[in-house]
Amino acid sequence: MSKARVRTRAIYPGTFDPTTNGHLSLVERASCLFDEVVVAISRKPGKAVLFTYEERFEFMRAAVKQLPNKHKIKVVGFDGLLAHFVKKVKATAIIRGLRAVSDFEFEFQMALMNRKLAREAETVFLMPALSWVYLSSSIIREVARNHGDVNGMVPAIVKKALEQKFKKQTRRNAE
């Protein structure tokens, strides 16, 4: 008697403010490891964001459509504690990205807390492709705010939105 294969579902949570190619690298890597990857965008993050939830959701939704395993990827929103959401969707893993050693201490603490609150899901640390290790949403926002070129570091939809957002702010500041 053979056992039925256990399906794996990973959650990749974040604010994704905005989506970067580093985020997409992690989604793509996770989609090769798990049966399903749920990109969970925080509706009400505990920090100030540049883009609304609806904008951040649309950026990610549009971007994952370009990935090879797009049929394994779902973009959703979530509120509240990640551990509660993990239980609700019956996730087997939580994906967290590590770019540098400096990320590890915070991510390690979060992984331990999530293990305490949601034992059914294991935290899996993934690194983005080497070409994206330096990228973060905050760096992208800062470069765009100062009219630097983010081409090739973010999806086209995000690049356009950043240009529009900071063009408006520049006009307001000039008035």
Residues annotated catalytic, as ranges: 23, 47, 99, 137
Q: How deeply is 54 buried, as exposed, middle or buried, from its count of CB atoms within 10 A (0-12, 13-18, 19+)?
A: exposed
Strands 36-42, 9-14: parallel, antiparallel or unpaired by DSSP?
parallel
Kindly report the three-state secondary structure assignment for every residue of 116-130.
HHCCCCEEEEECCCH
Strands 122-126, 93-97: parallel, antiparallel or unpaired by DSSP?
parallel
Contact 20, 154 (CB under 8 A): yes
Query: CA angle, 70 as apex, 3 and 18 as ends, to 5°?
Result: 125
Query: Could you give the CA distance from residue 108 to residue 114 in angstroms, rounded to a whole number?
Result: 10
